[in-house]
Chain A
Amino acid sequence: MAEPMKQFEVHTIVPLNVAGLDVSITNSTVWMAISATVLAGFFTLAFARPSVVPSRAQSVGELLFSLIDDLAHSIIGHESKSFMPLVFSLFGFIATMNLLGMFVVPFTPTSQLAVTATLALLTIAIVVVVGFWKNGFGFFKLFVPSGVPIALLPLMVPIEIISFLVRPLTLALRLFGNMLGGHVVLNIFGSFVVSLGLLGLAGGVATLGFLGAGVALGSVVALLALEFIVAFLQAFVFAALTCVYLNDVVNLHSH
């Protein structure tokens, strides 16, 4: 009947092997490349001939840029400009991958834990590197919250360390779970339309099956609208959390 998990199968298209590592071109990598091209291409074309009174594409680009710029500035403060390329690239790439995957045929790379875990680990690695670069070994003051009585520190510091180490895990799982769950639910409700419609063909009382199929179709439409919002929102939340984690290490001494 419904095979919701089949849509997440990764197929190798061009098998490649570099020093024992499997670096084949799969449907996942193809769609990641297409997303990156679409993102870069959109912004290149939109800002090819920038004008003070923007064209439609340019104003969309400016809208997205100012969304992330205001977010980063409100969270990080006046050092946000140097982190804008990272945060905006993460936002744009994840949003493009999610949104392209909404159109049935493309594969959604972010529905693979490998992809989201890579993005999350890269982000946290950058946060740690920035933390050490800006604070040296004072980075470890991140785990000692201010205003805590000394007696509680042996309890608080391990908790803080564990909650820091959980951050890449939650970043990866949040994006993965949302994309996986969304596509599974859409697949299952879509199968309801088909199975209730086939039931209705049997005739008699079973023609109520057509009514049920109509209800299922309506819910698929509503869920698809919700999933478009979720696709965009999850990219925004990934970017926002990156800003929050960067703020934690950049503004370590002014908490």
Chain B
Amino acid sequence: MAGLLRRRAAARPLPRRTNIARFLLKRFALALVTLFLLSVIVFAAAQLLPGNVGRNVLGPFASQQDVDTYNKLHGLDKPMLSQYWGWISHFVRGDLGKSLQYDVSVGSLLGPALGNSLKLAALAFVLVVPISILGGTIAALRRGRVTDRAITITGLSLTSIPEFVTAIVLIVVFGVALKWLPVNATAPPGAGFFTQIKFLLLPSFALVAVLFGYIARITRASVIEAVDADYTRTAYLKGLGPRQVLGKHVLRNSLLPTIAVVATQTGYLIGGLLVIEKLFNYNGIGQRIYTAAENKDFTLLQSGVLIVGLVYLAATLIADLLYSLLNPRIRFAGAE
């Protein structure tokens, strides 16, 4: 009997907080491994870029000797492993080095660019997440009706149009013809909160157009699944009202895949907006990384990609946390 009690005690679930902590710790460890692999890949990929850094910086008239001296001075002639260690060991200590292209600290270039990207991503998130969830939910609740078809077709159409087309249409209509919104997303220095929002509206609309169909479609499918589930029927049979069922049972369960999809878009929204940044002339981290790749600015390129990776993993961790809070199965599986 005592043995049975011990076994029962051992099988008893761990406290909720401990489970979540373990789950997140595991995710965090995986994120570190991912970051390490990303740093190796981005370093190796940067080496494959064509061109000579010294020649690129010093120009066509520099003597070969000067080019060689420059490369030596910046450690570009050292073995790959040594170069990698030199970069990553400084990176983890917060020293991002100097841009080879501009000869200023990488932090001074990436800091404002990352800030800008985060601002744009945040506004896009604030707009796209509620609109898409609302759209997807309405479509699911009106399944097969005109509203459903209108939302689904609009979403699919917007998603299938390349972002540069959507962006140009928005620029031409709202920026050039109607002159309602600025076509360049960079607000003047010292601009207030609402002015900054105004400048970011057009690119945010372009991103909403790209992401709406995707998120709304996932939401719709999940809501339909949840509406048809046994627990929803049970909830209705218990006598709960439609609002309570929708809020407590349907949405709570159907938002799980939506959260996962939204989290996976974070990387795109932070570092993958090159086209949007170019068209709206916005100094985001995507443009910085692209220019760095064009100019073989290793320090800027590597640090930029790794920072985007860090942000992406942080967003994924937050999504995991939300996921685990909403879904006990994940929480307990994580503890095992």
Real binding pair: no
Interface residues in chain A, defined as those with a beta carbon under 8 Å from any beta carbon in chain B: none
